[in-house]
Amino acid sequence: MGPTTLIDLPDKVYLVSIGMCVIGLNMSLAFIPPVPEVLDIITTHYKVIDGVDPDLDGLMNDSVATLYNLFLSVPGLVGPIVGGAFYDLVGYERTMDINMFVYFLLVIIYFFFNSGFTLFKDFKEMNEELERLKKIKEEIQELKK
């Protein structure tokens, strides 16, 4: 996003603009997909059959949306405070370097503790469970007729 002391890039407006565009594109990729994924994970973990209990579905959707907004809003409050403290302590360039290392560390932590090497196997198992729950839903709808 900004100049760094580690890489000898010129401190030019066009480089910062390109960085801001990349960050903006990444934010759209980070904000849109998580809610349906979280709903699928909750559905498979708690064996919730979608459409059988509308009240439960509504509560589940409300809870996920609330938690999602909480996890988006709290960093918006804490980030500028911590960033301002780092800016006062070490300056802008060093703050951006620290930010870069924190992002890399979070990516590594996310990969090993969330995705890991079984990502595709877990994804396949979750999709199979979702299909099984959809079949149960269809059977329940047939019984209601």
pLDDT over 90 percentage in the chain:
15
The CA R_g of the chain, rounded to the nearest whole Å, is 21
pLDDT in tens, 30-62: 777 888 888 888 888 888 887 788 898 889 989
Reply yes or no on whether the pLDDT at 116 is more than 70: no
Give which of 41, 47, 60 is closest to 137, Cα–Cα: 47
**pLDDT given at position 2:** 58
**pLDDT given at position 105:** 93
Q: Is the pTM of this model over 0.85?
A: no
Dihedral sign for Cα atoms in the order 109, 123, 24, 63: negative
pLDDT in tens, 59-109: 998 999 898 889 889 988 999 999 999 999 999 888 888 988 998 998 888
